[in-house]
Amino acid sequence: MGCAHGKCCNRDSSTSDEDSGHHQRGLRPYKNKDGLTQRSLELVHVPSHNFTLQYSSLTQNGFYPDTTDRENQDSFCIKTQIQGNPNVHFFGVFDGHGQYGAQCSNFVKDKLVEILSSDPTLLDDPLKAYNSAFLATNSELRDSEIDDALSGTTAITVLVVGDTLYVANVGDSRAVIAVKDGDRILAEDLSVDQTPFRKDEYDRVKLFGARVLSVDQVEGLKDPDIQHWGDEESHGGDPPRLWVPNGMYPGTAFTRSVGDSTAEKIGVIAVPEISIIRLTPSHLFFVVASDGVFEFLSSQTVVNMVRYM
């Protein structure tokens, strides 16, 4: 699972180092209760709106009792000062899956920000640039030496442009922001998981001929005609998945990804959903993480945990 955390509205008077756009080291590395070393907080100043962005990251293997040496297929990308602009910064988490998931996530985390950074229209039209970068990255992965027939990656990314966040999501990873509301700190989702639980995504992939069934339904243990699986947040361990009309593959539990050329034929696309949020003093920090986090922890729980880190 991968996670990137940004404290986005620590407004203060600037120093000469911050004005120059240089990175600054914050807290020294520390270990959590599981003995995992986390990266120290790093700082970058956003001079256009006079606040300091503090950020850190952590990635580790998920826990699988039967396969303790399972590969961590997640990757993340943090790139500050996009196009040399001290007000533009990029954060992304990429959750690979399939036999070549690690290669896919690493390819995409490098290629996406590379294409985004080289787009001369980025600051004039961030939405168009974001869409183009995702589609171009998907195309380049398809043309690479990596076999993406049954492998790929989700992508949740945040582009900070001054006091505005552009959040682009492909898949079931998530971005959430902490909002101060009186004495409370509330979690506000910046993205919506793209899975068959969503009626709009369900309807879209059905138009491409996808069968949407849980594993139990595919194996004949449950009625395949029942096309309601309840709410994603409270659902158990057998979610609806996508299958080709006459086969037992690919079985993806998401409806969008980068790669997955086989699943693309049944409606799995690399087109991002993009949300925009203007930062205010009430916004304290944001978290970008894979479903290795959010499958088990609610957005509010994650915010509560990060708040006291």
Entry pTM: 0.87
∠ CA 261-258-37 to the nearest 5 degrees?
A: 135
Same domain, 116 and 50: yes
Nearest 5°: phi and psi at 69?
A: -100, 20
Residue 227 has pLDDT above 70, yes or no: yes
Q: What is the pLDDT of residues 129-188, one digit of tens each?
A: 999 999 999 999 999 999 999 999 999 999 999 999 999 999 999 999 999 999 999 999
**CATH number of the domain bearing residue 80:** 3.60.40.10
The domain total for the chain is 2
Residue 19 has pLDDT above 80, yes or no: no
Residue 33 has pLDDT above 90, yes or no: no
Same domain, 73 and 210: no
Which has more pLDDT, 306 or 10?
306
Helix axes 126-143, 101-117, angle to 10 degrees: 140
Same domain, 83 and 183: yes
In the block, residue with structure tokens 């911050």:
18
Beta-carbon contacts of residue 44 (< 8 Å; ≥ 6 apart)? 18, 21, 23, 24, 52, 53, 55, 80, 81, 86, 89
Same domain, 177 and 98: yes
262 belongs to a structural domain: no
Q: What is the pLDDT of residues 3-14, one digit of tens each?
A: 555 555 444 433
Predicted local distance difference test score (pLDDT) of residue 238:
84
Residue 181 belongs to what domain range?
Answer: 44-58+69-193+270-307
Same domain, 182 and 216: no
Residue 123 has pLDDT above 50, yes or no: yes
244 belongs to a structural domain: yes
| Lowest mean pLDDT across 181-195, 214-228, 260-274 | 214-228
Same domain, 114 and 225: no
Same domain, 167 and 300: yes
104 belongs to a structural domain: yes
**Both structure tokens of 102:** 């690690």
